[in-house]
Every structure is written in structure tokens, then in C-alpha cells.
Amino acid sequence: MLKLNQEYTYKKICEELGWKESSGGQKQKQIKEIESSFEFYHPENKKTHKPKKSYIFTKQLKEPELEDKRKTNSGVKRVPDGVFEYLFKCVLSSGVQRNEYHQRGEMTNIYISSSVIYREFGFDVYGILHSMALHFESATTAGYAKVSRIFQEICINTVRSQTITRICRKLGYPANSLPKGILRKESRTSMHTVPDDELLEEYNIYMSWFLDFYKLKSERAAVRCGKYFEITEAIKSEFENRSDDKKYNVRKMNKITIGADDYADVMNFTPDKKEKKMLREGFKRIMLNMIWDSIQRRCTSEKQYKVELDFEEKIELIRFFLILHDRVSCSDEKLREQARELQKQMRIQMEQVGEDILKADAAEVEP
């Protein structure tokens, strides 16, 4: 959360509150909500002696809350709090079960990967995108690499917004910044893992090496291009091949810290199989709808994007969604028909633009 007597830029405020950076009217709503929630002043720019746009808060008046009514965050499509809380408890329970064997670790530190978090919520976005790898490769060969990147970014950002982003907000961490820890085994044949967070700095150095080798800017980029697991296996090998202090099966994980009372509550929690399945199915449908809303807007909005798509690329983006829809085990014929109809409209518009160009060219050559 925001701290008093500390300087914050607009971007940093959004990170702390878990808000999406915006522009135009939505940004003004965010700023108005912030300014009504705190007493503040704008610090002076020492070079120009004019007030900066950043804030220093001196007193909190209320909790900043913002109802975002845009389609991406529609109250109808967002995961209800009750569903989130139950599935988050399933995440913690799964983490505890995996961590029971950390005899020398703090039991209230739960080590768990992002992929397990996504699976526990019911939408294994990494696994689904991995199953579509051949489609992404063929699209890249056909010249649709940027479409592939945009589609994967939409999927990952959507699922993250309703899982890790909300977990961070709940636990008071900056948006999408769960603390990290290291698990390792004590021998090549060991069945147990132990925490060893002191290796985190070395792990990150190795990660930087391999990202540079593959010419990737971030771990998220490695996930999108299918190189992440290849890199993590290479990092394990680096630790195991050291001559003096070998470390086995070193893995970087999210580290969620909970109180002793919460830990006892999680230990006694046994998810109801039917309820968990029902909530997961609902979560899948919400994710599909949110992803479709983003793709539909990308194809039809007049908004100017940093990376623009032509008609063929928009058709390819919709094709990816149809493949995703068929990969997720909760078919929604309404969504499928909407996607096919929009594809059809894109083709009609593309043909019409082509005809208009031909007519214009013909008019120019007439005597």
C-alpha cells in the first residue's frame, strides 16, 4: 500500500494499488480518487523550482477504491471475491502439501510456481499456450509473429490479472510482484527439497546470461517464445556442474508468507471436489470471455495501438482464439459463433478495401 512521506509517480501508485495504467478519462478518474483519499503535495523540481507531477502523501483520509467499468474489468466478467478466496485457499493448500517435507524451512513460507497457481485456479495458461506452440511456429513462418506475441500477451495478462495480481493485492505486495525463493535438493537422487533463498542472486545472474544468449528481454518473453523451461533446465545444469559446491534441482519459486493462524487454517482445509470443479469451470468461462473481449476490442476499436494489425492479422488473431477455445474444456458455442462472425466481417472488410484500391488505381490511369 501507499506509504506516507514517500514520493510516488503515477506509475508507481498504480503498481502499489494493483491498478492498470490508463490514459484519458480513466486516468483522470484514478487521479481524482487518489487525491480524494489523501492529503498530499507535489514536491519541487530542484532544477526548475516548479512542482512535479509526482505526489508525497502526508495523511490518508480513506482507502482508495476505483470501479473500472471498462469491458476488460467488467463486474460481470471479473471473478467474484468468493470464488477467488476459495480457489486461493486451494492454492495455499496445494502449496502446503508440496512443502510439508521442508523440515528445515519456515513452514509458513509456501513455495509454489506460477504455473501451479494458474492450474489451481482452473486455467493452466502456460500449459495451454505450450500445447499451441506448433500453431505459433507456423504463424511465425507465415509472417504473423507479432500476432502470436499479442495473443499470448493477452492470454497471460488476463489470467494473471485475476490470480497473481489479486493475490499480491490481498497480501499487500506491489502488483505482480510475489516474493521469490529457491528450492533445491541435497543430492541428485534425493526425494526431498529444502529452501535455500541465499541462491536467489546467483540464480538471477544465470537467468540473465541465458536471456542474453537467446536475445530475450525478460522471463515473460522466454515464456511467450517457449524457451522458459529450456532456460530453467540449463540453470539447473549450471548449479549441478559446479566443481566445488554442487547444488541439485535448483528452482526459483514464488514464496507466499502467511501467518501461523492462517497456516493452521490451511492445514485443516480440505477442498470439496465438486465445489472446486464447479468454481474452476466458472473461472475458465470468465477467462475465455475476458480474453475474447480483449481480442474483439483489438479488432474493432478505433483506438490507436502501439502495434497496429491489418485485416489479415486480425483474422489470424481470431483464429488463435478459436484454437484456444477448443483447448479449454468448457465449450461455449456463443463465443465460438461470435468469433467466427467477426472473422467473416474482417474478410468482407478486407475484400471491400481491396476493391476500393483497384477502383482508385483504375481511375488514375483513365485518360
Confidence of residue 151 (pLDDT cuts 50, 70, 90): very high
Neighbouring C-beta atoms of residue 328, cutoff 10 Å:
19
- Which of the pair, 113 or 19, is modelled with greater confidence? 113
pLDDT at 366 (0 to 100): 57
Is residue 104 within 8 Å of 194, Cβ to Cβ?
A: yes
DSSP string, 184-245: EESSTT-S-EEE-GGGHHHHHHHHHHHHHHTT-SSHHHHHHTT-HHHHHHHHHHHHHT-SSS
pLDDT at 248 (0 to 100): 94
Residue 260 has pLDDT above 90, yes or no: no
Residue 117 has pLDDT above 90, yes or no: yes
Which residue is it, cell 483513365? 366
Please state, in angstroms and as integers, the Cα–Cα distance from residue 215 to each residue in 146, 210, 211, 218, 317, following that order.
16, 8, 6, 9, 25
pTM listed for this prediction: 0.72
Closest CA to 14 of 50, 68, 58: 68
pLDDT at 154 (0 to 100): 93
pLDDT at 69 (0 to 100): 46
C-alpha to C-alpha distance for 203 and 19, rounded to whole angstroms: 30
Least confident of 142-156, 174-188, 257-271, 345-359: 345-359
C-alpha to C-alpha distance for 261 and 263, rounded to whole angstroms: 5
What are the cell numbers at 150?
499479442
User: What does the pLDDT average to over 77-92?
Assistant: 87
Residue 240 has pLDDT above 90, yes or no: yes
Per the rule left: phi > 0, alpha: psi between -120 and 50, beta: everything else, 143 is left
Average model confidence (pLDDT) across the chain: 85
Half-sphere exposure of 130 (CA within 13 A, CB side): 13
C-alpha to C-alpha distance for 265 and 329, rounded to whole angstroms: 32
Which residue is it, cell 535455500? 196
C-alpha to C-alpha distance for 248 and 120, rounded to whole angstroms: 27
Confidence of residue 99 (pLDDT cuts 50, 70, 90): low
- Which of the pair, 105 or 237, is modelled with greater confidence? 237
pLDDT at 225 (0 to 100): 77
pLDDT at 1 (0 to 100): 66
Question: Percent of the chain beyond pLDDT 70?
Answer: 89
Sign of the dihedral defined by the CA atoms of residues 331, 334, 335, 336, in that order:
positive
pLDDT at 279 (0 to 100): 93
pLDDT at 217 (0 to 100): 87
Residue 72 has pLDDT above 50, yes or no: no
- Write the pLDDT tens digit of every residue in 275-328: 999 999 999 999 999 999 999 998 888 777 888 898 899 999 999 999 999 888
pLDDT at 359 (0 to 100): 58
Per the rule left: phi > 0, alpha: psi between -120 and 50, beta: everything else, 204 is alpha
